[in-house]
Amino acid sequence: MSPVSSRAQPSADLVQGVLAGNRLLLARTISRVENQEQDAQSILSALYTHTGRAHIIGVTGAPGTGKSTLVTVLAQGYRRAGQSVGVVAIDPTSPFTGGALLGDRVRMRALAGDPGVFVRSMATRGSLGGLSKTTGDVVTVLDAAGFDRIIVETVGVGQAEVEIASTAHTTLVVEAPGLGDDVQAIKAGIFEIADILVVNKADRPGLDRTLQALEMMLDIEGNGPRYVRHHGQLLRVEAPPDDDEHERWQVRVMQTVATVGTGVEELRQQIEAHRTWLLDSGEMAVREQLRVANTLENIIRAELNRRILASMPANGMDDMVEAICRRQSDPYSAAQALLARV
């Protein structure tokens, strides 16, 4: 490959570079995709047929549960097991600077310098319709680049973040003892998308209460309600049906102390057990369809947003805003008028 210097690297070089495992070209490709430059779409189209090998792991949970540390230690475990790991971390954004608040430098420093690991932080700025698409795009690039496992870490509070995690093959919901009451409520919301529940910071006071609450929700001891995914829907199953061709996946509560590594290898093995179950049960095909349908929708949404913004006359909008402020018009009628123009 020719030396890399030109800023306007041809798309074909980038595609070849990603497929050949060139780190610099990989980073450059991701930037081009993230910034939605002109050739991003043709690059992604070219890379897509090389995807489908990576196992995608979503990690979500409320702020304060120690997700970043857990992801770092988990990635190290995969490295010891001889597998390469891509990490996509979605950071809350500063509305002022537009930049991510944590960023690669602060987080996951322990992973630096290992050629088998690639970490990318992404900001939530301009998330309306765009975040899900861009995250999916970056996962596509990492998958094509041949990473064995891709971990997508999100702050699990907004619906969009939950949706990102739910397009993973295996979704971890991370909890921690002793968080406040409305954190508990949020937990209940994202709990239902979990394939594996993790109580991190398991050495903290309040562990028993957290475990109790989770196990009550899971009804782990009894033969009570189970939640299964079926054709993209979460269904509640009152009791296991008799004609069970294969074992149903049982959500387990794993305990970890990521800062010292306790329980992380067991967690990794549980993730791998889930992957094996997905493949053996045929559930993997269902999840892949889900993922593809989500990807399609996200691309369409983002493209529509782009088109509407491009076609909207800035001045015309200012005049309308003025008129609405004077209550001579209203935004609902004005929106109709603008849309009629496009």
Among 211, 308, 44, 291, residue whose Cα is nearest residue 317: 308
Is 102 a residue that touches its own copies (CB under 8 A)? Answer: yes
List the one residue from 203, 266, 296, 319 that touches its own copies (CB under 8 A).
296
Query: How far apart are CB 184 and its own copies at their closest, in Å?
Result: 9
Tell me the C-alpha distance between 334 and 340, whole Å.
10
The one-character DSSP state at 84 is -
Of the pair 65, 210, the CB lying nearest its own copies is at 65
Write out the two tokens for 68.
């970043």
Is 269 a residue that touches its own copies (CB under 8 A)? Answer: no
User: Distance of CA 214 to CAs 34, 47, 210, 220, Å?
Assistant: 37, 41, 6, 9
Site for its own copies in 234-253 (CB under 8 A): 234, 236
Of the pair 22, 124, the CB lying nearest its own copies is at 124
Site for its own copies in 321-340 (CB under 8 A): 321-322, 324-325, 327, 330-336, 338-339
List the one residue from 4, 300, 313, 319 that touches its own copies (CB under 8 A).
300
Site for its own copies in 70-99 (CB under 8 A): 91-96
Is 188 a residue that touches its own copies (CB under 8 A)? Answer: yes
Is residue 334 within 8 A of residue 323, CB to CB? The reply is: yes
Site for its own copies in 126-145 (CB under 8 A): 126-129, 131-132
Query: How far apart are CB 71 and its own copies at their closest, in Å?
Result: 12
Of the pair 132, 256, the CB lying nearest its own copies is at 132
Write out the two tokens for 263.
């329980």
Of the pair 101, 216, the CB lying nearest its own copies is at 101
Looking at 112-262, list the stretches that DSSP marks H as alpha helix, in order from N- to C-terminal side: 131-144, 159-166, 181-191, 207-218
Is residue 87 within 8 A of residue 119, CB to CB? The reply is: yes
Of the pair 90, 271, the CB lying nearest its own copies is at 90
Is 320 a residue that touches its own copies (CB under 8 A)? Answer: yes
Q: Which residues contact 63 (CB under 8 A, 6 or more apart)?
A: 155, 157
Site for its own copies in 153-182 (CB under 8 A): 155, 157-163, 166, 179-182
Is 206 a residue that touches its own copies (CB under 8 A)? Answer: no
Site for its own copies in 1-60 (CB under 8 A): 41, 44-45, 48-49, 51-52
Is residue 34 within 8 A of residue 72, CB to CB? The reply is: no
Is 289 a residue that touches its own copies (CB under 8 A)? Answer: yes
Question: Angle, to 10 degrees, between the axis of helix 181-191 and the axis of helix 159-166?
Answer: 40
Among 51, 233, 40, 261, residue whose Cα is nearest residue 145: 51
